Amino acid sequence: MKRKLKKLSRLALVCSLASLALWSCKEDPNSTGLELLPGSDLKEVDFAVDSTTIAAYTENDELLRTDEPNYNIFGTFNDPVFGKTTANLAVQLRLPGYPGFDETTQADSLVLYLLYKDFYGDTTTLQSLKVYELEEDVYLDTTDVTGSGDYPYYQDVDLKALASANVIGELDFYPVFRMDSTETDTLVQELAIKLDQSLAERLVKADSLDMVNNDVFLDFFKGLYIESQDVSEGGALLSLYTLAGGSNLTLHYTQVIDTVETDSLSFSYRINTNSARISSFTHDYSTTVFADQLVEHPETPDSLIYLQTLGGLRSKVDIPSLDTWKDSTDFIINKASIVFQVDTVASDYNNYQVPSALVLRAIDGEKTEGEDGYLYLPSDFAVSSALYGGRFNAEDATYTFNITHHLQDIIDGEVTNYGFYLSTLFRNERTRRVVLKGSSSHVGIRLEVTYTKLN
| pLDDT one-digit tens code per residue, 299-315 | 678 899 999 999 999 99
* Cα 212 to Cα 288: distance, rounded to the nearest angstrom: 53
Summarize pLDDT for 195-237 with one digit per residue, the tens: 999 999 999 999 999 999 999 999 999 999 999 999 999 999 9
Summarize pLDDT for 82-125 with one digit per residue, the tens: 999 999 999 999 999 999 898 899 999 999 999 998 899 999 99
Q: What is the pLDDT of residue 10?
A: 44
Q: What is the pLDDT of residue 166?
A: 98
Residue among 66, 68, 64, 84 at smallest CA distance from 76: 84
Angle at the Cα of 108 from the Cα atoms of 105 and 110, rounded to 5 degrees: 110
Decide: 162 and 302 in contact? Cβ < 8 Å.
no
Q: Which of 144-148, 163-167, 266-270 has the lowest mean pLDDT?
A: 144-148
Q: What is the pLDDT of residue 47?
A: 87
Q: What is the pLDDT of residue 328?
A: 67
State the chain's mean pLDDT as an integer: 86
Query: If pLDDT is split at 50, 70 and 90, which confidence band does 18 have?
Result: very low
**185 pLDDT exceeds 70?**
no
- Proportion of the chain above pLDDT 90, given as a percent: 67
Summarize pLDDT for 394-443 with one digit per residue, the tens: 999 999 999 999 999 999 899 999 999 999 999 999 999 999 999 877 77
Contacts 24+ apart (CB under 8 A), 376-382: 376/9, 376/12, 376/13, 377/13, 377/16, 377/20, 378/403, 378/405, 378/406, 378/409, 379/405, 379/406, 379/409, 380/404, 380/405, 380/406, 381/16, 381/20
- Proportion of the chain above pLDDT 70, given as a percent: 82
| pTM of the predicted protein model | 0.86
* Cα 349 to Cα 398: distance, rounded to the nearest angstrom: 12
Name residue 414's amino acid: E
Q: What is the pLDDT of residue 263?
A: 75
* Helix, strand, or coil (residue 454): strand
Q: What is the mean pLDDT of residues 311-340?
A: 90
Q: What is the mean pLDDT of residues 37-52?
A: 71
Residue 393 bridge partners (DSSP): 398
Q: What is the pLDDT of residue 232?
A: 94
Q: How far is CA 53 from CA 241, 314, 317, 318, 323, in A?
A: 45, 20, 11, 8, 12
Summarize pLDDT for 344-354 with one digit per residue, the tens: 999 998 899 99
Angle at the Cα of 232 from the Cα atoms of 227 and 233, rounded to 5 degrees: 110
**2 pLDDT exceeds 50?**
no
Decide: 246 and 127 in contact? Cβ < 8 Å.
no
Q: What is the mean pLDDT of residues 137-153?
A: 64
321 phi/psi in degrees, rounded to 5: -65, -15
**80 pLDDT exceeds 90?**
yes
Q: What is the DSSP letter of 349?
A: T
| Range with top average pLDDT, 5-19, 130-144, 359-373, 380-394 | 380-394
Residue 131 bridge partners (DSSP): 169, 226
